[in-house]
Amino acid sequence: MMKTIAIGVAAIAALSGCTTMPSMPPPTGTPLLTPVDALRSPDVYDGKVVSIEGYALVGPEVRFLLQTKADADLTMRELESRCVTLMNSGLIIHDKAKYNERRLRVTGRFLADYPAHNIVQFGSCSKSAIDMDNNYRIEVLE
């Protein structure tokens, strides 16, 4: 009986994200990029599912995936070429302590120019974003 309870508790913890899972590669065929890679050729990835690895800044008006931790000290104008906006990032906002100032791999649909789609996104750092609305995945790398 106790073994069954222990297995159940472990399964619930794993499903709720309470445990650290080993980093896995992105789904087969999904490009693995950095913010700079994605911004260098945004039209190539527009509308496609991609995985982007970067340093996350998450707060009331901040939803960014930066190239490096040092980029957090740059001005907004300087960030435009080194940062991808995290769109529909409710999960990250609600669990800010888990994701803020951590290196993440985020998988979702890349939008090269989300304002062109009449989308307003507060807390953005560039006009390119990774949309976390459907079928997305977040992994904490460090």
pLDDT of the residue at 93: 79
pLDDT of the residue at 62: 82
- Let me know if residue 99 belongs to a domain: yes
Which regions of the chain are under pLDDT 70?
Answer: 1-27, 115-123, 135
pLDDT of the residue at 105: 95
Is 107 in contact with 50 (CB distance < 8 Å)?
A: yes
- Let me know if residue 8 belongs to a domain: no
- Let me know if residue 12 belongs to a domain: no
pLDDT of the residue at 123: 66
pLDDT of the residue at 27: 67
- Let me know if residue 14 belongs to a domain: no
User: Alpha-carbon torsion 35, 105, 65, 29, what sign?
Assistant: positive
pLDDT of the residue at 7: 42
**Domain limits for position 47:** 24-140
- Tokens standing for 38? 């994605």
pLDDT of the residue at 35: 96
